[in-house]
């Protein structure tokens, strides 16, 4: 176990994954807290699950733990792209958990029923705003969703009621892979435009306290990733959508 822990510590982790025996991966993301905002069904028994943009696989392994009959984790950019992520974390956690989660390296825009199949539940978490072509990406996601989608994303222009999106050219939101900040109305409109019949908001960071949101805005300013005024207009949302 000592050698295994040493190997784990050499990996640059995004997700915080409980591997059992008191061992947790040192991820940047507070994955257990994010899980609570998703309102994923407690039991996925007999369901098939697709995790698009799986990275280290926290949500893939959680779906397996909740009884899914099949889980497919997919990624492209974080496993072999230009970002700092790799597939090493997923492979390590997969072995440590003795997991049967399947994996496939495929870009979102290459998704189709012919290439990956269709799934009862699709997870599309923290990916939409990284897409250069977000509506096209959602069309691909819809094509592989048999029943339900859980979508988590950054949103912007939250005081604008008409569907709209902010564009972030040349890394103006602190990361060159951040391209678009749709407002909540745009997220709903896009989901319905690609074919989802019902869309429900289940979490919005703006429902948290004003103190929290102001503190987050000043933290972004101090880190140099954003301005206070723009950060206050941004947030995170989780939507459930059904065919």
Residue 150 has pLDDT above 60, yes or no: yes
For position 171, what pLDDT does the model report?
Answer: 77
Residue 153 has pLDDT above 50, yes or no: yes
Q: What is the mean pLDDT of the chain?
A: 91
Residue 6 binned pLDDT confidence (cut-offs 50, 70, 90):
confident
For position 226, what pLDDT does the model report?
Answer: 58
pLDDT digits (tens, 9 = 90+) for 63-87: 999 999 999 999 999 998 777 789 9
Taking the CA atoms of residue 195, residue 201, residue 205 and residue 207 in that order, the dihedral angle to the nearest 10 degrees is: 150
For position 1, what pLDDT does the model report?
Answer: 47
User: What is the longest distance spanned by two Cα atoms in the chain?
Assistant: 55
* 148, 241 contact by CB (below 8 A): yes
Residue 41 has pLDDT above 90, yes or no: yes
Residue 213 binned pLDDT confidence (cut-offs 50, 70, 90):
low
Q: Could you tell me what percent of the chain has a pLDDT over 70?
A: 88
pLDDT digits (tens, 9 = 90+) for 12-31: 999 999 999 899 999 999 99
Q: Could you tell me what percent of the chain has a pLDDT over 90?
A: 77
Enumerate residues 6+ apart whose C-beta is below 8 A from 236. 37, 152, 153, 154, 155, 203, 204, 205
The token pair at 225 is 């990733």
Residue 232 binned pLDDT confidence (cut-offs 50, 70, 90):
confident
3-state DSSP assignment of residue 235: strand
For position 174, what pLDDT does the model report?
Answer: 78
pLDDT digits (tens, 9 = 90+) for 76-135: 999 987 777 899 999 999 999 999 999 999 999 999 999 999 999 999 999 999 999 999
Rg (CA), the chain: 18
CA angle 48, 81, 6 (to 5 degrees): 80
> Which is it for the CA torsion 93, 79, 26, 10, positive or negative?
positive
Residue 210 has pLDDT above 60, yes or no: no
Could you tell me which residue, 75 or 175, shows the higher pLDDT? 75
Tell me the C-alpha distance between 175 and 190, whole Å: 24
Average pLDDT over residues 50-73: 98
Q: Break the chain into its structural domains and give their ranges.
A: 2-18+28-204
Element (H, E) at 26: none
Residue 62 has pLDDT above 90, yes or no: yes
Residue 60 has pLDDT above 50, yes or no: yes
Tell me which of 1.10.150.120, 3.40.50.150, 2.60.120.560, 3.90.1170.40 is the CATH number of domain 2-18+28-204. Answer: 3.40.50.150
Q: What number of H helices and E strands is found in the chain? A: 10, 11
CA angle 124, 128, 132 (to 5 degrees): 140
* 27, 40 contact by CB (below 8 A): no
Q: E-strand spans in the chain?
A: 18-20, 23-24, 48-52, 70-75, 102-105, 119-125, 145-155, 165-167, 180-182, 198-204, 235-242
For position 76, what pLDDT does the model report?
Answer: 94
Q: Which residues make beta-bridge pairs with 238?
A: 152, 203
């Amino acid at each position: 176990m000592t050698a295994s822990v040493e190997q784990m510590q050499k990996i640059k982790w995004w997700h915080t994954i409980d591997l059992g025996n008191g061992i947790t991966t040192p991820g940047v993301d507070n994955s257990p807290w994010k899980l609570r905002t998703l309102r994923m069904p407690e039991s996925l028994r007999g369901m098939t699950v697709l995790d698009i943009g799986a990275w280290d696989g926290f949500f893939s392994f959680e779906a397996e733990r909740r009884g899914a009959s099949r889980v497919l984790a997919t990624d492209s950019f974080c496993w072999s792209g230009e970002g700092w992520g790799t597939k090493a974390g997923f492979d390590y956690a997969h072995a440590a958990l003795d997991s049967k989660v399947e994996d496939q390296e495929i870009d979102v825009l290459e998704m189709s029923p012919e290439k990956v199949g269709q799934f009862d539940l699709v997870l599309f978490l923290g990916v939409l705003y990284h897409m250069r072509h977000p509506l096209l990406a959602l069309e691909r996601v819809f094509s592989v969703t048999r029943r339900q989608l859980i979508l988590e994303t950054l949103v912007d222009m939250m005081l604008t009621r008409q569907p709209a999106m902010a564009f972030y050219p040349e890394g103006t939101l602190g990361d060159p892979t951040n391209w678009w900040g749709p407002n909540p109305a745009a997220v709903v409109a896009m989901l319905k435009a690609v074919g989802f019949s019902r869309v429900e908001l289940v979490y919005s960071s703006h429902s948290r306290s004003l103190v929290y949101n102001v503190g987050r805005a000043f933290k972004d300013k101090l880190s140099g990733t954003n301005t206070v005024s723009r950060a206050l207009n941004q947030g995170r949302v989780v939507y459930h959508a059904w065919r």
